[in-house]
Structure 1
Amino acid sequence: MSSKSTVPVPKKFVFKEPTKQLRRGKACLNCRFHKIKCDGVKPVCGSCTRLPREEECEYASASSRTKELEQRVTRLKARVQELESPEVTGSGLQLADPHFAVNERVSTLSVPSSRAQSISDHSSSSSRSSFDPLLGSPEPSISIINMLLDNFLPFGSQFGFFLHLERFKSAALMNAPFGDDSRPSPALLNAVYLWGAHLSPVDALQSNETIFLNRALQHISVELPNALNSAQIMHTIQAEVLISTYFFRKNQLLEAEFHLNGAVSLSQSAGLHQIRSDRVFSSPVVKILMETEAFLPPAQDVIEEGERINGFWAVYCLQRLVSITVGNPSYCFGGLDNPFRDIDTPWPCEYEFGLYNDGAFGRSTIEQFTHGQSPIFEPVFDLSSYTKAVVLLHHVIRLAHKLNRGLNSEDAYAAFTNDCIFFESLLTRFHSSLPSLDIDNSFYGFSGPTRDSLVVTHVLIWCAYMQVQKIYSSCGVPDALERCIGTAQNIIHTLADANHLHLNPIVGTLCAMACSTIGDELVRTETVTQWDLETLGNQIDTSVLRQGLEAGIATMALLAMDSPVMKYQMDKLQNAYPFI
């Protein structure tokens, strides 16, 4: 007797060695596919118990290989649909690339080509309602790519897209393999496809949103530490910005900050904050640090240099807006506020027109602007206007936080007052330089600033001005409260009339800021006594405040229809002011 039979095994684990006939006729589908021995134990065979697989252990009643394949393909397609739509099926699992896995498995089976086509047609007809543009390829077909690009590129500037549109589109549609150096990087392409699917009005394309997200995350994790040449670095930064903005819009702020941190770190290590700097470094240590970081070779042309300049400011603006949304604008994030890393890069502009050919150099770009040393021409509106509006809002909110933390001396209070007066004047002059919102749409070009960006720029400046008036009102400045509430009402009215602003995730924060200003004043007015009202004066009728807050929440509800971050902001408002 062999030693194997003498081993004392508990009865419940004893199984009989299957015969060859049993393995041929009774093996599970997993074992048949992998061509391994199967003991035929049901409901789960020994092989599937020892080596758990994604597919469940399943037996076919018929012995027809073709029928088994058809059943397997149908089952896998149903599983793919379930994993792609966990909100419908109740499954919490995610699948990075199910379609490619299914196709790869089917393609390896040794069946006649005509029969394989029949199986493919059968699986396609069984899931016609879930159109699959990714089957059999690491990226969609050229026609689907065109659709995704058309969905995304017209709104790309709202999500931080800074690359040259025509160059990017030509490279994306180039007849070259996926991952070829002549095309955008895989992470960037999938990030763009992700936004194209997200913005698509076609449900079948939207259903692939999770696949593009998983692919973008997989590729960015590889590309971020391995970006070496100029194209790889810029494509990785662009992909990180798009992924971060996507998570921002989805109200996944931790994930947004994580990918934003990658974009900030890579842009600074590439020296994008020191483009065209005329700085002379007095410290050898700092000089060596800056020289080792700025490893990008000189730009090949004005467009490539413009992409680098605009790329840095896209990262900068996104970081400031995310910090405002999470409520911590004074947080030093990713070294942007490091005193040894002053920003000398010139303001962004439309590089197609050769505006960077003047050979100009810069130093302390933001400091010069916020100290009134940069000229403000009027009227002017270009790509720098939005960036400057973000800078001004961030600085004013930091002033408000400084007041909330308290001022310890008369000198500190005097300096704070001077800062408020200066920024109010700067905001007024800058806003007067912007074109009116009533300007003809023919003013805007597809590749330059859009009307949506002009509206957001106006709203950013109004929010900053509203914050200054709110500070004045708390300090007892006459008429400041009326200006503050009037500006908040103007913000709400403007956002309610906009068409595509719901796409930009910062719009929810700006609208919530205006609503909170009105709501806080309404709460304060309704809680003070009549004597306090007569003593304090300078009050606004509660009916006006209530109407303004109701209009603001109605606007938020409109904006939040397809934006989780705006839905989150609206829920916070409704919880803060349940009486509305």
Structure 2
Amino acid sequence: MADKRTTTPAGPSTSLQRGKACLRCRKRKMRCDGVKPACQQCTKAKKGDACEYDDGKGKTRTQLMREQIARLEARVKELEKSSSSSSHGSPPANLSLSASASPTPFPLDMDSSPWDSQWNGIPDFPAVNGITDSYATEDPPIELAQMLLEIFLPHRHQVGLEVHVGRLRDSLHLPLGEQRHPVLMNSIYLWACYLSRPGSLCEHEPLYLSRALAAVNDAVPNPSKVIDFIQASCLLSMYFLSNGRLLEGSYHASAAASLAIQWGLHQLGSTDLTVGVIPCDRESTFRLNPAKDAIEQGERVLAFWQVFNLDRCWSVALRRPATIPDSKHPWTSVITPWPQRMEDYETGELEINSGSPTIQAFFVHQAQVSPVVGGFSTFAHRVKASALFEGASRLSSSWYPRLSSSPSFTENFRAFEHTITRFTTTLLPLHQLAATLPDEKTSLLLIHSLAHASMIHLHQPFLEDQGSRETAVRAARSLAVVAKHISDTDYDYLDPFIGHCWVLGSEILASEIAQLQAAWSPHPASSELRVELNTLLFSLTKVAAKFPLFGYQATKVQKLLDAI
């Protein structure tokens, strides 16, 4: 046996060349065998779907996804034909829309600013004409539902949804009463159609939008489906906001936030993990049933922070107060622990919060000291960035001239500025993002952008002061640096809110260029700033191609650029 081994020609080395391991193994510094489509390490961990390579060979992730969408659209057409023939030649009502139908039933009016929407009353959702839903009382065919779900799942982080993928998939095969509520599933199908633009699936957006809105009335009074309703409201809000329908988007964001507070999601994670909320020594009609396991408890934690991110970021963009309070009052203090990775919940590693405030502790510089606070996952950094973004805007907007000499305001201002700076230094540097998983990379790009946009918001009322102006310009230029690290593939998975950050940076750079040229034309530094402004405009235009809301903003920035 030994002789045979010595005479056998040497086979290929079992150690891969540098950079050839899958992204998951590289991130975890594990030995990878390089087997495709899924290496042994990912297969053993039941993470075959997350096993991806970037060795430059084969097709890119985007190409594979587009091919998959094309195959799914072809299958949908087959289902349409099958349904048509089974109904004696009449077209299937649930899938037949006019070919001239708009990709979204709510087109953005480009002649007026989407930020100037009126805020009077609760919106009346327009009826979707031309649809008679033959599946009004039942789910779509299982094969179609699976196809739409698979289109959506790679984009779930993009729209803020954090769920256990395996359980979501399995839900489609459970008895009707045990499935995820139609309000959530139809919101997911809506996003699947939206994300398939410009493919033919986008024609079915009005169908799934009408189904999701119709399912709201059934989900609200159902305590067992509270999490589904909150998650769906966030998805609907993001859909409306991305399409420039700010009133509807704000309405659903506020509904999700209010319901999350009413059901106590802001106070999850007491020492008794079987209890859904902390009762605060008072009787409450709104009590969640005990979580069945760590995964279900984790989904509740993730659902709250999904609402928190939506509420904090978009309240600033919409120029309205945030809905979720966070004070020292026992009913409003946010004590839900920081979100963790879903893998942590799967292994039962659930963080326990003894009742200490989460966000408040972060703001008073306890996040790196107290072991209870934690918050080291990428999603936790996303939450911190959202809190900083809204907090900076709230603090700066509270200033008025009589406070110019207020020691209290100055102290709070400097402390907040230090918090933003320190938070930024804890993030993974931009030049290292290429080695992260694609989902983490796009999340970190947004987190970096939110941090720099927070600094702009903090100093925005004081731009006449040279120090504040220089700080804001540095932050704007840093936003341009972030944009330069975005690849073409990344644009398909970016959170749409990153566009708002770029608008802030573009306005600061345009203002600085105009001021420099007014003082000294041509100014030596203005050419560099103009390049960076063009970088942000290019990125904003790319985002606007998928999210119409930012089409108006891109046009506005282009006019600023043309005027200087």
Aligned to 1:568: 552
Matched, 1:477 2:467: yes
Q: Distance in 1 between matches of 2:247 and 2:182?
A: 24
Matched, 1:367 2:357: no
Q: CA deviation at 1:383?
A: 2.0
Q: What letter corresponds to residue 436 of structure 1 in structure 2?
A: P
1:208 is paired with a residue whose SS is helix
Q: What letter corresponds to residue 477 of structure 1 in structure 2?
A: G
Q: Quick one: structure 1 residues 221 and 294, their matched pair in 2 at CA, closer, same or farther if it must change by over 3 Å?
A: closer
Q: CA deviation at 1:187?
A: 0.9
Aligned to 2:34: none
Number of equivalences? 447
Aligned to 1:66: none
- Map Cα deviations across residues 390-440 of structure 1 (whole Å, 9 max, x no partner): 11111122233234x334362x2x333322322332223222222233437
Alignment match of 1:220 (pick from 216, 223, 227): 216
Aligned to 1:555: 539
Q: Which has the larger Rg?
A: 1
Q: What letter corresponds to residue 430 of structure 1 in structure 2?
A: F
Aligned to 1:493: 484
Higher helix fraction: Structure 1 or Structure 2?
1
Q: Distance in 2 between matches of 1:200 and 1:481?
A: 37
Q: CA deviation at 1:239?
A: 1.0
Q: Distance in 2 between matches of 1:336 and 1:154?
A: 32
2:300 is paired with a residue whose SS is helix
Q: Are the counterparts in 2 of residues 482 and 540 from structure 1 also a CA contact under 8 Å?
A: no
Q: Distance in 2 between matches of 1:551 and 1:398?
A: 29
Aligned to 1:47: none
Q: Quick one: structure 1 residues 497 and 419, their matched pair in 2 at CA, closer, same or farther if it must change by over 3 Å?
A: farther
Aligned to 2:177: 181
Q: Distance in 2 between matches of 1:276 and 1:345?
A: 6
Q: What letter corresponds to residue 211 of structure 1 in structure 2?
A: L
Structure 1 segments unaligned to the other structure (5+ residues) = 1-68, 101-133, 280-285, 534-538
Q: Are the counterparts in 1 of residues 544 and 554 from structure 2 also a CA contact under 8 Å?
A: yes
Q: Are the counterparts in 2 of residues 277 and 363 from structure 1 also a CA contact under 8 Å?
A: no
Q: Quick one: structure 1 residues 529 and 416, their matched pair in 2 at CA, closer, same or farther if it must change by over 3 Å?
A: farther
Structure 2 segments unaligned to the other structure (5+ residues) = 1-86, 108-125, 273-278
Q: What letter corresponds to residue 85 of structure 1 in structure 2?
A: A
Matched, 1:453 2:437: no
Q: CA deviation at 1:295?
A: 0.7
Matched, 1:417 2:410: yes
Q: Quick one: structure 1 residues 96 and 181, their matched pair in 2 at CA, closer, same or farther if it must change by over 3 Å?
A: farther
Matched, 1:300 2:295: no
Q: Quick one: structure 1 residues 575 and 337, their matched pair in 2 at CA, closer, same or farther if it must change by over 3 Å?
A: farther
1:300 is paired with a residue whose SS is coil
Aligned to 1:26: none
Q: Which has the higher contact order (CA 8 A, sep 6+)?
A: 2
Aligned to 2:158: 158
Q: Distance in 2 between matches of 1:189 and 1:196?
A: 10
- Map Cα deviations across residues 176-215 of structure 1 (whole Å, 9 max, x no partner): 4xxx111111111111111111112673322111100110
- Map Cα deviations across residues 354-387 of structure 1 (whole Å, 9 max, x no partner): 4654544232211110111221799954321111
Alignment match of 2:401 (pick from 395, 398, 406): 406
Q: What letter corresponds to residue 383 of structure 1 in structure 2?
A: F
Matched, 1:146 2:139: no
Q: What letter corresponds to residue 450 of structure 1 in structure 2?
A: E
Q: Are the counterparts in 2 of residues 237 and 266 from structure 1 also a CA contact under 8 Å?
A: yes
Please, which moves more after superposition, 415-424 or 90-99?
90-99
Matched, 1:82 2:111: no
Q: CA deviation at 1:240?
A: 0.8
Aligned to 1:348: 339
Q: Quick one: structure 1 residues 381 and 272, their matched pair in 2 at CA, closer, same or farther if it must change by over 3 Å?
A: closer
Q: Are the counterparts in 2 of residues 240 and 259 from structure 1 also a CA contact under 8 Å?
A: yes
**1:272-351 matches, cutoff 5 A:** 272-277=265-270, 287=280, 291-292=283-284, 295-328=287-320, 331-333=321-323, 335=325, 339=329, 340-351=331-342
Q: Quick one: structure 1 residues 250 and 353, their matched pair in 2 at CA, closer, same or farther if it must change by over 3 Å?
A: same
Aligned to 1:95: 129
Q: Are the counterparts in 2 of residues 379 and 434 from structure 1 also a CA contact under 8 Å?
A: no
Alignment match of 1:248 (pick from 241, 244, 259): 241
Q: CA deviation at 1:324?
A: 1.7
Q: Percent identity?
A: 24
Q: Distance in 2 between matches of 1:311 and 1:505?
A: 19
Q: Are the counterparts in 1 of residues 263 and 288 from structure 2 also a CA contact under 8 Å?
A: yes
Q: CA deviation at 1:497?
A: 6.1
Q: Are the counterparts in 1 of residues 338 and 358 from structure 2 also a CA contact under 8 Å?
A: yes
Q: Distance in 2 between matches of 1:86 and 1:515?
A: 31
Alignment match of 2:195 (pick from 196, 199, 206): 199
Q: Distance in 2 between matches of 1:371 and 1:455?
A: 25
1:439 is paired with a residue whose SS is helix
Q: Quick one: structure 1 residues 360 and 287, their matched pair in 2 at CA, closer, same or farther if it must change by over 3 Å?
A: closer
Q: Distance in 2 between matches of 1:305 and 1:512?
A: 37
Q: CA deviation at 1:550?
A: 2.7
Q: Distance in 2 between matches of 1:90 and 1:233?
A: 27
Q: CA deviation at 1:159?
A: 1.0
Q: Distance in 1 between matches of 2:105 and 2:308?
A: 40
Q: Are the counterparts in 2 of residues 526 and 542 from structure 1 also a CA contact under 8 Å?
A: yes
Aligned to 2:259: 266
Q: CA deviation at 1:90?
A: 13
Q: CA deviation at 1:263?
A: 0.9
**1:105-120 matches, cutoff 5 A:** none
Q: Distance in 1 between matches of 2:150 and 2:95?
A: 31
Q: Distance in 2 between matches of 1:278 and 1:90?
A: 46
Aligned to 1:12: none
Alignment match of 1:505 (pick from 471, 496, 500): 496
- Map Cα deviations across residues 132-182 of structure 1 (whole Å, 9 max, x no partner): xx7x9843333322221111111102212122221111112x054xxx111
Q: CA deviation at 1:452?
A: 1.0
1:375 is paired with a residue whose SS is coil
Q: Distance in 1 between matches of 2:239 and 2:104?
A: 22
Q: CA deviation at 1:270?
A: 0.9
Q: What letter corresponds to residue 555 of structure 2 in structure 1?
A: D
Q: CA deviation at 1:249?
A: 1.1
Q: Distance in 2 between matches of 1:89 and 1:139?
A: 22
1:292 is paired with a residue whose SS is coil
Please, which moves more after superposition, 365-374 or 480-489?
480-489
CA RMSD of aligned residues (A): 3.7
